[in-house]
Structure 1
Amino acid sequence: SAGIAGGFAPRAAVGATVLAGAIVAADLGAETPEGFADVTELGFGTARHTPPPAVVALAARALAARAVQAVTGPVLTVSTVTGSAERAAVLAARHPGAAAEAMEGFGVAEAAARFGVPAFELRTVSNPVGPRDRAAWRIGEALAALERAFAALPVRELIEEAGRG
């Protein structure tokens, strides 16, 4: 799964490339008197998929070799894009080390898991997670960065490595 995302500053600033070390359903669950309970805690499945670490490491090395620096960390899948500092802080506290926020990765990972196929997620950051400021979005730059990142990935090697895992 690949695309653009919001980045959790300072971990993944605008323009950064993010490799998912975990693909997390960040807001799928229920609010309880004790706080948020994700679907795993509720007994309805999983809220987290972990891409094969060897695949993530291979991708990071390949990107670095082509002068594309990547941040590795959880990529949060949300059903509503964050638009406030308060919501960004809640997500960052609930998911330490979160690097990016997007909307599609967990669905892709769930589908892959059902077919026994490993999932992998790559995002480039177009905007910071937090207060909604359309003037600060850099979608064109993020898409160009995504194109550069994809060009640097050894797709066949990544697939072979995933098959070994």
Structure 2
Amino acid sequence: DLVAADLGADTPDGFLPVTALGFGRDRFTPPPALVREVATAAGAAAGPVLTVSTVTGTAERAAALLAAHPGALAEAMEGFGVAEAAARADVPVLELRAVSNAVGPRDRDAWRIGDALAALTDAFGKTAPVLEGWNRHDH
């Protein structure tokens, strides 16, 4: 799933997602068969990616996001917007991510951007045939 993790409102009773406020959506679910096929081809984990408007820089915020979205695998800033555009064009969407650093306190010395880019390049190569041969009407 592509999840708008912080789209909503803070209230005295806690965070309310935009859907609880009666507006729009806060989640897009890619076609499950496509997710399975891409994850298998890439040797990747499948699970929710959280779209946030502010990068998480504390362990407390990371824990709060994980508590609110159990099973989330990563956070990013672009996925939900791409999903909105895809929905308007009536095309399926999925988010393929390679992780260069852990969510939480920023430790630039631990970032592995080169490794993440190499992993993403490898994943694209492995998933391209799946995407080229996939027909959403067959699944």
Please give the range of the TM-score, normalised by the shorter of the 2 chains: over 0.9
- What's the secondary structure of 1:128's corresponding residue? coil
1:98 to 52, 57, 72: 72
- Tell me by how many angstroms 1:102 deviates: 0.5
Whichever residue aligns with residue 46 of structure 2, its letter is T
Asked if residue 54 in structure 1 is aligned to residue 33 in structure 2, the reply is: yes
Q: TM-score, normalised by structure 2?
A: 0.94
Asked if residue 35 in structure 1 is aligned to residue 14 in structure 2, the reply is: yes
Note the alpha carbon deviations across 1:44-68, whole angstroms, 9 max, x for none: 10000000001001112222xxxxx
Number of residue equivalences: 137
Q: In structure 2, what is the equivalent of residue 25 of structure 1?
A: 4
Asked if residue 86 in structure 1 is aligned to residue 70 in structure 2, the reply is: no
- Tell me by how many angstroms 1:37 deviates: 0.5
**In 2, distance between residues paired with 1:149 and 1:29?**
33
Whichever residue aligns with residue 52 of structure 1, its letter is P
**In 1, distance between residues paired with 2:57 and 2:65?**
12
Q: In structure 2, what is the equivalent of residue 156 of structure 1?
A: 132
1:72 to 23, 32, 46: 46
Pick which of 108-117 and 86-95 moved more.
108-117
- Tell me by how many angstroms 1:164 deviates: 3.6
Structure 1 gap segments, 5+ residues each: 1-21, 64-68
Superposition misfits of 4+ residues, deviation over 4 angstroms:
none
- Tell me by how many angstroms 1:114 deviates: 1.4
- Tell me by how many angstroms 1:157 deviates: 1.9
Whichever residue aligns with residue 35 of structure 1, its letter is G
**In 2, distance between residues paired with 1:39 and 1:110?**
14
Root mean square deviation of aligned Cα? 1.1
- Tell me by how many angstroms 1:163 deviates: 4.2
Identity %: 66
Asked if residue 117 in structure 1 is aligned to residue 96 in structure 2, the reply is: no
Q: TM-score, normalised by structure 1?
A: 0.80
**In 2, distance between residues paired with 1:99 and 1:157?**
27
Note the alpha carbon deviations across 1:120-164, whole angstroms, 9 max, x for none: 110001000111111111111100000000000122023x2x344
**In 1, distance between residues paired with 2:25 and 2:32?**
19
- Tell me by how many angstroms 1:115 deviates: 1.9
